[in-house]
Amino acid sequence: MGEGAAEGATGGKYGVRLVRGPFVQLPRHPEECDEDTFLTYAKRLRNEGHRLAADLFSGAGGLSLGLEAAGYRVVVGIDVDREATETHRHHFGGLTVSWDLGDGERIERVAQLIKKAKVELLAGGPPCQPFSRAGRSKIRHRIRNGHADPSEERRHLWRSFLEIVTIAKPAAVLMENVPDMALDKDMFILRTMVHELESIGYAVEERVVDTSRYGVPQFRQRLILVALHANTAFTWPAPLPDQITVWNAIGDLPSVEGGWRPEGGADGWAEYEGPKNAFQRRMRDGMDVKLANRVQDQITRPVREDDKIAFQHMDSTTLYSDLPEELRRYRADIFDDKYKRLNENGLSRTITAHIAKDGYWYIHPRDNRTLTIREAARLQTFPDRYRFAGPPSAAFRQIGNAVPPFLGEQLGKAIRSSLEKRRRAVQQSRETGDALAQWFRRQPESHLLVPWLKASTRWQVISAELLLERLSGTQLWFSWKALEKWAKPADSLAAADALSAVLTGIGRKDRAGNLLELARRLADTPYVLDSDKTIHTALRAAHLGADAVADLAILAVPSLIDDDESEEPVLPVRGVLRVASRFTDEPTLQRKNTMSDGRLAVARMIGYGDAARDAHLGLIELAASVCRSESPLCSVCPLAKKCASSASRRRHNLGHPSLAQNSR
C-alpha cells in the first residue's frame, strides 16, 4: 500500500487518521487584467520604465518569480492547471489565464497579445511529448522543404511555443525543460527548435544546468535554452560561490509531527523563532509584519506507526533494503530507495511532482516524517510569503513542477545583461553545420582516415568498425578497399579465406571470427541491418559494442526501409568532443557527462536540416584527420575562423614573430 493509500486508511493495525486540507483559496492580484484591459496595463508599465516578460506553461510561477527578481515585470501567465493558475494570478499582475496552448486559435491570440504588448522576454517550459517516427518524418520534411507551420488543429506544446515566438518575435526567449524529454537519441525536438529559431534571426545557446550552482539546495538538472534576437550573443551566468545545504534551507523551520495541522485552517500558522543565515533571511523577505514570528504551510502528511519506526532506523545513507525485514512493505530488491532520509549537510534529491503522491523519498533529516509544504517550497527557493492554491496535494504538485525561482533570477539577469551589451554571436549551428557538411562532401574517399563514413551499406560500416578501428596509413586504405567489396554479410562469408588473409596482413586475424559469426547470424536476414528499428537488436546478439557500432552505421547510411525514418543519432564518439571543446573553448567538456553536455555540444556544431547528417560525419572525420590530439592542423580546418582555440592560437602567434612565421 502506497503512502496515499495509507493516508486514507481508517482501520487495521497500521492505518492512519485521514487528514484533509487545509484548502487554500487565494484572492486575485489587485492589478489583474483581462484581454480588454491588458494592452493598456502593459503600456503603462513600459512607460514607467519596466521591461516586460511573459511566462507560458507558467505553473505556480517559479520562473515568473525569478524573472521579477531579475528586474522584469511578468505580465502574462498561462497554464492549464487551474490551481496553479490561481496561484499565479494571486502573485502576479497582468493577464493570467487557464488556456490550452495546444489549440491553434489560442496560439494566434496569445502571440498577438505578446507582440502588441512589446514583451521583451518570452519564457516557458513546454512539455515535450514523445514522437512517433511518422511525426518526426513529417516535421523534418517540412523543415527541409521550407514549408509553413503545420495547420493541424492540435499542436505539440513545444511547437506551440515556437509558433508564438515566430509571430511575436520577442527580443529574448527562455525555455526550461527536463533534460531527458528533449535529449532523445537524435535530439529531435531540441535540434528542431534551434534550427527554426536560428532561421528567424535568433542566436541560440542551450545547456544542461545544475541548479545547485545557482543557490538551489537540491540536485536538480534542467535543460535551458536561451535565444536572443538579432544574432545577439548570450553569456551564461557565473555559478554562485556557495552551495546551500538542506539544513541551510530548512533548519530554522519549526519541528512538527507527521499529520499536524494548525488551528485556523488555511490561515493557520506555526510559531517561528527567526532566520539564522542569509538564505533563510531571504526566504523571509516580503513577509507581512503580522506574520513576522509565524510560518504558514508547515504541514505534512500523517505517518503510519510502522513507517515511523522504520524512519527511526534510518540516516541519510540507509537504503530501504537495509531496514529490518519486518519493517518493509515493499520488495527490497526492487525498491532499494523506496524510503530516503535527506542529508542535512548535502543537497536534497530533486523535488518533483511525485512528492504530491509519495513523500517517502523526502524524509525530514531529523524528524520522523516526510517534508512539509513549506520545507518543499524552501528547497525549491520559494519564499515563505508565497502560498499555493488548493489542498496540500495540489500545493506539493505545484512546487514539484516549478522552476526554482533562484534559477530564473540568475538566467533573467544574464539575459538582461546580454541584451544591454548587444555583442554579436560568433557561432551558429546552421553556419557551422553547413561548413562541416561542405568540407566533408569535398573530401575524396582516399583522403579520409575513416573512409567507411562514405560507405554504401551498413554492413561495410559494421565490418570496418569491428576490424579496422585505430588502423592508419596504407594499411587502413588497402584493408578498407578489400572490406568495401563485401557489401553484405553473405559476401563476407563467401570470402572468409580472403578476409582472414587481409586481417593476417595487418595483425588482426583474431577479429575475423567475431565478424564471420555475426555474418552467419545475419546471412539469411540481412534486411534487419537496413532498419533503424532492428539493427541494434541484431548486433547486440553477437557483439558487446553493438550500440555504438549500430549508431554509426545508422548515421553513415540512411535507412533503406520506406516506413523507417532514419534517426540521425547525435554521437559524442571518436574524438568529436575534443573538437567541440576546442571550438567552444570549454576545456572541461570532455570530462563532463557525454550523454548530456557532450551531445549538446555536438548538436550545436552539426545543426539540423538537410546538411546535418553530412555535418556529423564531417565532424567525426575532422577529429580523426585535422583536429588531432597532438599538433592539430588548424590551417586546413574548415572551422578555423570561428574556432575559439584557433583564434587564441593565432593571437598567441602574433605576439611571437617566429611562431607566426612557422604557422603560415
Answer for the pair 544, 575: CB distance below 8 angstroms, yes or no.
no
Residue type, 287: M
CA-CA distance, 435 to 457, in Å (whole number)?
25
Q: Give the pLDDT of residue 4.
A: 40
pLDDT tens digit sequence for 449-464: 999 999 999 999 999 9
Amino acid at 536: H
Is 70 exceeded by the pLDDT of residue 7? no
Following CA atoms 217, 218, 222, 227 in sequence, which dihedral angle do they give, to the nearest 10 degrees?
Answer: 0
CB 398 within 8 A of CB 60: yes
Render pLDDT for 461-495 as a digit per residue (tens, 0 to 9).
Answer: 999 999 998 888 889 999 999 999 999 999 999 99
Three cell numbers at 266?
488555511
Residue 527 or 343, more confident: 343
* Pairing label, strands 221-229, 202-210: antiparallel
In this prediction, residue 224 has a pLDDT band, given cuts at 50, 70 and 90, of: very high
Range among 50-64, 148-162, 501-515 rated most confident? 50-64
Q: What is the pLDDT of residue 203?
A: 96
C-beta of residue 354 within 8 angstroms of C-beta of residue 361:
yes
Output the pLDDT for position 62: 98
CA distance 500 to 521: 18
Is the bond into 22 cis (omega within 30 degrees of 0)? yes
pLDDT above 80: residue 319 = yes
Average pLDDT on 142-153 reads: 51
Among 320, 349, 358, which residue's Cα sits nearest to residue 336?
Answer: 320
Phi, psi of 451 (to 5 degrees): -65, -25
Residue 309: which residues within 8 A CB-CB, separation 6 or more?
Answer: 327
Q: Of the ranges 206-215, 588-597, 602-611, 648-657, which one carries the lowest mean pLDDT score?
A: 648-657
Give residue 596's pLDDT.
80
What proportion of the chain, given as a percentage, has pLDDT over 90? 67
Could you give the count of Cα atoms lying within 13 Å of 432 in the half-sphere of its Cβ? 31
What residues contact 411, with CB distance under 8 A and at least 6 apart? 66, 70, 174, 224, 226, 237
CB 4 within 8 A of CB 358: yes
pLDDT at 14 over 70: no
CB hemisphere CA count around 270 (13 angstroms): 21
Mean pLDDT (whole number) for 161-186: 89
pLDDT in tens, 649-663: 555 444 444 434 433
Mean pLDDT (whole number) for 59-71: 98
DSSP per position, 223-255: EEEEEEETTB---PPPPPS-PPPHHHHHTTSPP
Cα–Cα dist 371/342, whole Å: 10
Residue 98, CA atoms < 13 Å, CB-side half-sphere: 10
In whole angstroms, give the CA distance from residue 612 to residue 432. Answer: 10
CB 266 within 8 A of CB 240: no
How high is the pLDDT of residue 182? 67
Q: What is the pLDDT of residue 365?
A: 97
pLDDT of residue 15: 53
Alpha helix ranges (H) inside 422-495: 429-442, 458-468, 473-484, 489-494
Q: Give mean pLDDT, residues 436-447.
A: 94
Q: What is the mean pLDDT of residues 587-596?
A: 71
Q: Are 198 and 204 in contact (CB under 8 A)?
A: yes
For residue 10, the model assigns a pLDDT of: 39
β 121-124/172-177 pair status = parallel
With a CB cutoff of 8 Å and minimum separation 6, the contacts of 68 are 74, 92
CA dihedral 349, 354, 355, 358 (to 10 degrees): -110
- CATH number for region 3-18+245-391: 3.90.120.10
Q: In the predicted model, what is the mean pLDDT of residues 263-284?
A: 96
Q: Is the pLDDT of residue 530 over 50?
A: yes
Residues tagged active-site: 128
Residues of the chain with CATH 3.90.120.10: 3-18+245-391
Instruction: Pinpoint the residues of the chain covered by CATH 3.40.50.150.
Output: 35-241+408-421
Measured in whole angstroms, the distance separating CA 614 from the mean position of its chain's CA atoms is 25
| Distance separating alpha carbons of residues 389 and 4, to the nearest angstrom | 20
Three-class DSSP category at 465: helix
Percent of the chain at pLDDT exceeding 70: 88
DSSP bridge pairs for 52: 73
Task: Count how many Cα atoms sit within 13 Å of the Cα of residue 181 in the half-sphere of its side chain.
Answer: 15
CA end-to-end distance (rounded Å), the chain: 73
Domain covering 35-241+408-421, topology: Rossmann fold (3.40.50)
CB 408 within 8 A of CB 65: yes
Task: Name the H helices within 422-566.
Answer: 429-442, 458-468, 473-484, 489-494, 496-505, 512-522, 535-540, 546-556
Mean of pLDDT values over 116-123? 98
Res. 545 pLDDT band, cuts 50 70 90: low
Nearest to 518 by CA among 548, 541, 495: 541
User: Between these two residues, 591 and 269, which has the higher pLDDT value?
Assistant: 269
Residue 131 has what pLDDT?
46
pLDDT at 591 > cutoff 80: no
Q: Convert the pLDDT of each residue in 399-409 to its tens digit.
A: 999 999 999 99
- State mean pLDDT over 493-501: 94
Q: In whole numbers, what is the pLDDT of the chain averaged over residues?
A: 88
Q: Cβ(429)–Cβ(198) under 8 Å?
A: yes
Q: Give the relative orientation of helices 429-442 and 599-606 as an angle to the nearest 10 degrees.
A: 70
Q: Do residues 209 and 224 make contact, with C-beta atoms less than 8 angstroms apart?
A: yes
Would you state the pLDDT for residue 537? 87
Angle 196-202-207 from CA coordinates, rounded to 5°: 85
Residue 229 main-chain phi, psi, to 5 deg? -75, 165
pLDDT in tens, 178-216: 887 667 788 888 999 999 999 999 999 999 999 999 999
pLDDT digits (tens, 9 = 90+) for 253-272: 999 999 999 999 999 999 99
Lowest mean pLDDT: which of 8-17, 320-329, 501-510?
Answer: 8-17
